[in-house]
Structure 1
Amino acid sequence: MSAEVIIGDKRLEPHRLRAAILGEVHARPFRALATPARVLHFAFDTVGEQAVEDRRALSALCVRRGIAPPRPTDKHFHITFGGTGLRWEQHSEFTTYTLELPGDPALSPFHPTASSLATPMTLVAQPGPVLVAIDMQLMADRPDRLAIERHFNRPSLAVAENSDGTAVYGTDFLPDPDGFVRILVLDRGLGDERAGALVQRLLELETYRTLALLGLPKAQELAPSINRIERRLAELTNELQQTSSLADNNRLLDELTALAAELEAGAAGSLFRFGASRAYDEIVHTRLRIIGERKVGGLPTWSSFLARRMAPAIRTCTATEERQANLSRKLARAAQLLRTRVDVEVERQNRDLLRSMNARTRMQLRLQATVEGLSVAAISYYVVGLFGYLVKGAHDAGWPVDPTIATAVFVPVVVLAIWWIVRRIRNRHIGKEHEHEV
């Protein structure tokens, strides 16, 4: 499919995704199917490398039979060998193989067995664990045909006709002895195109129904952990009201953090599964609306049957996801409250510590003032002593100086001068410290 737009001789450069977007509309088209027919449908879990290996195995099969293999970008592929058609489709987390075989109007429904007809599947290695195995029989409706309900388990039977009554289809959603879920479609004038469309929609219904229910085991697995976290959160909240010490608050905060980590680990592991279950459930309901089911006699339709059997499982997944989200918010609020209490307690301790430091600082200032006074006295003593030696030397040299009087007069001058110098040095240092603090 060309993504270019041509105007005269000019080609417009397309967006890099235009071809993919245009091709998506035509992905997995319906194939015409002549009545009678037998369709065997398989869906395998293929995540990561399994999908790559599966594509490689299919390509190898095509090469062995001289058929062009699927391109790396192909998501669906159809080949025919003998009288059997094989349709391959690759999805985000699963891959489907569909065998289309001609039916025999002389045979009873589901004869021969599906296991005896599915031998072409052995030509390709199993791509992953099997999720879906469907045995669908498309037959022309005749008055002498056995009633559809005789081929299924009556308590689980779901039967409906399409919007214009040209087909009746039924199943009991139960695996047969070979593990296949049987679906019987009676053609009342569908035509090949509409028969192919209806068959594909019914196959998708059963496939997406199975995939949607994969979320239920995950929800059941997470339920005990969520219940335990909810109970412990209630206990921790009660303890929170009765404790006030920093050690107890830190202990409670550590436990709340551990519970939150456990919850988030479970939520992260189930995020994709629950989201996929919702998406698949929506696809199931979309397919049912497209078919436009109508009741047949007093039998339940597929829509009503799935509403009773499937909807509770989807609600369980949704409720589990909501419980995880609500519990996460509650844990976050409780943890925030505890952090606030811890912060307040730490600030109170810091305030007491600062108060103690202020007291010690005042004591240090008093000691410093005492030491300062002693320093003035000591320095003055040494300066006066030097001055005394000076005047004694001058007196001995014949100068008219009395050493005793000169020393006595010099003492107060020296004390005042040294006190002023020491005070000025201290004030200068204090001023610099204030400047750095500002």
Structure 2
Amino acid sequence: MPRDAHTSPVKDHELRYKLANELHARPFPTLEAPCHAAYLAIKRPEDAASRDRDVDRAHLIALLDRHGAPHPSPGATHWFGQLGRHQLKWEAHTEFVTYTLFGDGVAERPFDGTTFDAYPEDWLADAPGVRMTSALIRVQGWPGEEAIVQKISEWFVPESLAASRVLDDSATIAGDFRIDENGHMRFAVFVRDECGSRRVGRIVQRLCEIETYKTMSMLGFARVRDMGPELTRVDEALTSLVDEMAGDVAKPDQTLKALLEVSSELEAMGARSSYRFGATGAYEAIVNQRIEVLREERFGGRQTFAEFMMRRYDPAMRTVKAAQGRLEAMSERASRASSLLRTRVDVERSAQNQTLLESMDKRADLQLRLQKTVEGLSTVAISYYAVNLVVYMLEPFGAEIGLGKLALMAITTPLVILAVWWMVRRIRKSL
């Protein structure tokens, strides 16, 4: 019997559909120019990766309830929907959550701080964390290259301005990565008529991601600056201990203890920093990847986003990598020095043990000699008393045969001594 074409006898994995749908769960927004976006990233100050995610969802729900919007499903890590006159995109990440409000049109005054008023002030005050970054993104139609040059020169700081053509010259993006008087980053997007709404949404999303992951990766740089003095102090202590090992160590046990303390301190520093170093590397890779997919081309002779990152951002990331490598190298040095000193201590202890064994061997030899001497004296003493006993026993019989006491002693003494010596020898062998 033929099998139904829509059924299969093989059983699906319980997570098959969930994992497949995860790839499509966070679509790019669809935006038409002119429009704007107000972006916000919130992170708990400490232990953000192990935070209670339900608190993040509760904060989102508090915002949704103000507009009667539907709630996310339990355990959801993303939500997209209408929120009054705006569309809201919410995402929960490993260490932070992001909110992006999309609205039609642009303010008459570029990057007007009132655009961010769509987030209620009291709701922001109740946020379960602190603001890592926020950004205002202005998207408008193509006014011509001369007009773009004039606008970005007025809107951004020339020293930090980065601008480039992206996605096969379908749009031009600009920003200076500076915080304005309202506490927000600013980005401008000028799109040509042929640039589709999905492409516009991808550009805006990429800008938000570049800013967020750039900021998050800079936490690693801040960690390195904080631990710099401590790392230098430990490095100097380690170098001093290693230099002492080059000569004769007066108290190797104490030096070994100091080395173990340095190793423990380095391990503790590594444990405290390992997550941040790993996260920084991952965030840096995301920043570079997001810039790469924009396929930048130079605009008006100005630096591109990639060039800005190479000059301002990459040195900070190299500093983090250098500090990570320095910490690992110091840990290896401390471990090698501890092993070498431990070997030296073991060798010295082996030499001491060898000397002690030799001393014990000499003592045993002396004791054996003394024992033999004592055994000889014991033989003489036992023989003396034994001869007297034998003479007393044989004296009556000696009188009958005409032997006196002295003659009996002369005859019995060699025999008694020989008998006693033989008996003592057998006893010693048996023991």
TM-score bin, normalised by smaller chain:
0.7 to 0.9
Within 2, Cα distance between the matches of 1:401 and 1:149? 149
Secondary structure of 1:370 counterpart: helix
Q: Which residue of 1 aligns with 2:229?
A: 224
Q: How does 1:102-181 map to 2 (within 5 A)?
A: 102-104=104-106, 107-111=108-112, 113-119=114-120, 122=123, 125-142=126-143, 147-181=151-185
Q: 1:19 to 1:410 in 2, by over 3 A?
A: farther
Q: How does 1:163-312 map to 2 (within 5 A)?
A: 163-189=167-193, 190-245=195-250, 247=251, 249-312=252-315
Q: Which residue of 2 aligns with 1:421?
A: 423
Within 2, Cα distance between the matches of 1:390 and 1:14? 111
Q: What's the CA shift for 1:86?
A: 1.9
Secondary structure of 2:356 counterpart: helix
Within 2, Cα distance between the matches of 1:136 and 1:322? 38
Secondary structure of 1:78 counterpart: strand
8 Å CA contact retained: 2:88, 2:100: yes
Stretch deviating more after TM superposition (280-289 or 79-88): 79-88
8 Å CA contact retained: 1:376, 1:422: yes
Within 2, Cα distance between the matches of 1:158 and 1:10? 55
Within 2, Cα distance between the matches of 1:134 and 1:66? 24
Q: 1:276 to 1:414 in 2, by over 3 A?
A: same
Secondary structure of 1:325 counterpart: helix
Q: How does 1:273-352 map to 2 (within 5 A)?
A: 273-352=276-355
Q: Give the aligned residue type for 1:318.
A: K
Q: Give the aligned residue type for 2:234.
A: I
Q: Give the aligned residue type for 2:26.
A: R
Stretch deviating more after TM superposition (87-96 or 60-69): 60-69
Q: What's the CA shift for 1:134?
A: 1.0
8 Å CA contact retained: 1:168, 1:186: yes
Q: What's the CA shift for 1:10?
A: 4.3
Q: What's the CA shift for 1:44?
A: 1.5
Secondary structure of 1:286 counterpart: helix
8 Å CA contact retained: 1:59, 1:70: no
Q: Which runs of 5+ in 2 are unaligned?
A: none
8 Å CA contact retained: 2:69, 2:82: no
Within 1, Cα distance between the matches of 2:321 and 2:189? 33
8 Å CA contact retained: 1:114, 1:180: no
Q: Which runs of 5+ in 1 are unaligned?
A: 1-5, 430-438
Within 1, Cα distance between the matches of 2:368 and 2:280? 74
Q: Which residue of 2 aligns with 1:93?
A: 95
Q: 1:56 to 1:391 in 2, by over 3 A?
A: farther
What per-residue deviation string (whole Å, max 9, x for no partner) do you get for residues 135-181 of structure 1?
Answer: 11222233577622211111111111213222111111111112111
8 Å CA contact retained: 2:69, 2:83: no
Q: What's the CA shift for 1:285?
A: 1.0
8 Å CA contact retained: 1:388, 1:403: no
Stretch deviating more after TM superposition (8-17 or 160-169): 8-17
Q: What's the CA shift for 1:300?
A: 1.2
Q: Which residue of 2 aligns with 1:38?
A: 36
What per-residue deviation string (whole Å, max 9, x for no partner) do you get for residues 210-257 of structure 1?
Answer: 111111111112222232333333333332233244x2x223222222
Q: Give me the CA root mean square deviation.
A: 2.9
What per-residue deviation string (whole Å, max 9, x for no partner) do you get for residues 398-419 of structure 1?
Answer: 9979684666544433332332
Pairs aligned (count): 418
Q: 1:62 to 1:383 in 2, by over 3 A?
A: farther
Within 2, Cα distance between the matches of 1:301 and 1:210? 18
Within 2, Cα distance between the matches of 1:132 and 1:227? 32
Within 2, Cα distance between the matches of 1:8 and 1:71? 31
Within 1, Cα distance between the matches of 2:295 and 2:383? 113
Q: 1:59 to 1:376 in 2, by over 3 A?
A: farther
Q: Which residue of 2 aligns with 1:75?
A: 77
Stretch deviating more after TM superposition (56-65 or 192-201): 56-65
Q: Give the aligned residue type for 1:313.
A: A
Provide the identity percentage. Answer: 36
Q: How does 1:353-364 map to 2 (within 5 A)?
A: 353-364=356-367
Stretch deviating more after TM superposition (308-317 or 27-36): 27-36
Q: Choose the corresponding residue for 1:365, options 359, 368, 375.
A: 368
Secondary structure of 1:359 counterpart: helix
8 Å CA contact retained: 1:36, 1:138: yes
Within 1, Cα distance between the matches of 2:5 and 2:422? 98
